[in-house]
Structures are given as C-alpha cells and as structure tokens.
Amino acid sequence: MPASLPACRVPVPRFAPWRPLVAEVFPSLNAPTWPGTLTRLGLWLIVAGAVLAAVSGPLNRFGVTGFAPALLTLAVGTLLLVLGALFAIVGFLVANSKGTPIPKGMAALAILLALVLLGYLLSWLRAGMGVPPIHEVSTDVDAPPPFVAIAPIRAAIPNLNPAEYVAEQAGRAGKISVPEAQRKAYPDIQPLQLALPPDQAFARVEQAVKELGWEIVASVPAEGRLEATDTTRFFGFKDDVVVRLRAEGGGTRVDVRSKSRVGVGDAGANAARVRKLLALVAAGS
C-alpha cells in the first residue's frame, strides 16, 4: 500500500489585485459612505450649536441684543446640539460597524462636548420646573419691603417688571396669587430674627452683601434699609434686592425681598438668593 502523500498547503497571498475589480463590479461590497457624511454633518452642527449657546449670554450681558433674542439664540443653539449629537452618534456607530473611515477621535470628542453641554442646559431647565412662574420673593408677603433708590432706576428702563410688589400675576391657567404661590413653593422663606441691636445687625447684613459681590445701590442704616443689585454671570440678568431691618423683641427682624427685572418666572433664582443672604447673615458673616 503506497505511503500517504503529505498534505500540501497553498499560501494565499495577502495582496489580492482582484479586490478593487470586484468592488468596482459589485459596489454594494464597499463600505457605505453615508455614515461618514452623517458624522461630519453632526460635527458641524455640534460646533455651530456650541458657539450659539456660548454667545447667547454675552449677547444680553453686553447689550448687543435684548433679552428675547439672546434666549432665542440659546434655544437655536440647543436644538443644533441635539441634532448634531444625534447625527454624530448614529454616524459614528454605523461607521464603526461598516468599516467606513471617519475621524473617530474628533467625533468622540465632539459627541462628549455636546452631551456635556446638553446635560448642563437640561439641568438649568429642570431647575425651573416645579417652581411657580413668579419673579419675586419676599420674607414678608403681607408688607413687602419697598424699593426706594432702585425704583427710579427700574422706572427709567422700559419694559421691566415694576418695582412695586405685584400680588397677583397672570399665568397660563389664569391669575396667580404670588403670596400663595410663594408660601406653597418656598415655605422656608421667612424673616430672620437676630439677637442683635439694629446697628450691629445692619453692619452684618452689609458685610454679607459685600461678600456675595452684589452692587450696593443704597445703604441707609438710620432707616434700616439696604438696596443692592445682583448681576448673573452668564446672561447678565439684573435682579434687585432690598433688605429691611426693624427692632423687634429685644433684637432685630431682617426682611429680604428679591425681584427680577425681566422675565415672567425666575426658575427659583430669587428664592435661592434670599436663602443665601439670610444664611450668611445668620452665620455672622
């Protein structure tokens, strides 16, 4: 019986000159190009959205545009970020599975940037949900501290919320009672009682306002009145604050009122501002 012949292996060359010909005859075998196009479109939309979102605040802060155009710019930027992130993610995933060449590092970085920006914007939006659409808060809703020095400043600028306390405000579902809405949403906003004479309490309040970086418009210890303006960092929104101090029960009662100059609602900003000031004053800062 003849001995078995050894197995013969024929090496297959890595270079196959027939591959380009097959790809040309059967173009469906090529990696699709649309995932790359979709990814690049997503990157451009992310860049455009990020730029619009970044400039929306300074547009209002430095008086380039008004309040409404700046918010519209932010809204358009947010929409572009959403579309860009969606296109880039779909294109990125399909390109990886189909072998379509794309700038993976750049795409991943752009997607991460879009998601971070959208997360921040959504957290800002969520902060305004669940709070009443009111734009002022006072520790005394029955006799709110009045603006004196700030009142003519607000009156000189058109289309601002009035300096006077407005107890009833228009809302989507009808009239809103501002005191009732505040009591329900911010039950902790209450007057602060200090075991200090009014002059010492006033000095403590003034120091706290300075630490917060607010612009003091009027400081009248004899009347127990301090008025200040807080300017937000990004949009440059100006919200006004008045503090009233009165001798009561052997100490001093501190009332604070904070009111936005523009906007129907404040996303809880005025309540947060009042809490911050009262906490500093109570701590002795």
Three-class DSSP category at 3: coil
Together in a domain, 201 and 254? yes
Q: Which two tokens stand for residue 38?
A: 């979709």
Together in a domain, 79 and 148? no
Q: pLDDT tens digits for 51-102?
A: 999 999 999 888 888 888 998 999 999 999 999 999 999 999 999 998 889 8
Q: Which two tokens stand for residue 283?
A: 């701590």
pTM for the full model?
0.77
Residue 177, pLDDT above cutoff 70: yes
Please report, rounded to a whole number, the percentage of residues in the chain having pLDDT higher than 90: 70
The larger pLDDT score, comparing residue 17 to residue 158, is at 158
Together in a domain, 235 and 117? no
Examine the fold and report which residue of 127, 159, 191 is the final residue of a domain before the chain moves on.
Answer: 127
Together in a domain, 196 and 277? yes
Examine the fold and report which residue of 69, 98, 127 is the final residue of a domain before the chain moves on.
Answer: 127
Angstrom distance (rounded) from CA 238 to CA 231: 5
Together in a domain, 180 and 86? no
- Report, as an integer, the average pLDDT of 159-188: 91
Together in a domain, 144 and 267? yes
Q: How far is CA 76 from CA 28, 144, 282, in A?
A: 38, 38, 43
Together in a domain, 173 and 60? no
Together in a domain, 87 and 214? no
Amino acid at 17: P
Together in a domain, 109 and 161? no
Residue 201 lies in a domain: yes
Together in a domain, 65 and 152? no
Number of H helices, E strands in the chain: 8, 8
Residues whose CB falls within 8 Å of the CB of residue 285, separated by 6 or more in sequence, listed in order: 204, 207, 208, 211
Residue 199 lies in a domain: yes
Residue 3 lies in a domain: no
Q: pLDDT tens digits for 233-247?
A: 888 889 999 999 999
Angstrom distance (rounded) from CA 253 to CA 58: 39
Among the residue ranges 20-34, 61-75, 161-175, 234-248, the one predicted with the least confidence is: 20-34
Q: How many domains does the chain have?
A: 2
Together in a domain, 113 and 250? no
Residue 87 lies in a domain: yes
Residue 8 lies in a domain: no
Q: How open is the CA angle 64-126-186, to the nearest 5 degrees?
A: 100
Q: pLDDT tens digits for 108-121?
A: 999 999 999 999 88
Question: Roughly what angle, to the nearest 10 degrees, separates helices 67-98 and 34-61?
Answer: 160
The larger pLDDT score, comparing residue 68 to residue 11, is at 68
| Mean pLDDT value across the chain | 88
Q: Which two tokens stand for residue 264?
A: 């129907």
The phi, psi pair for 50, rounded to 5°, reads -65, -40
Range of the domain at 155: 136-283
Together in a domain, 220 and 98? no
Angstrom distance (rounded) from CA 167 to CA 144: 10
CATH code, domain with 266:
3.30.530.50
Examine the fold and report which residue of 98, 127, 156 is the final residue of a domain before the chain moves on.
Answer: 127
Residue 255 lies in a domain: yes
Residue 7 lies in a domain: no
Among the residue ranges 55-64, 76-85, 126-135, 218-227, the one predicted with the least confidence is: 126-135
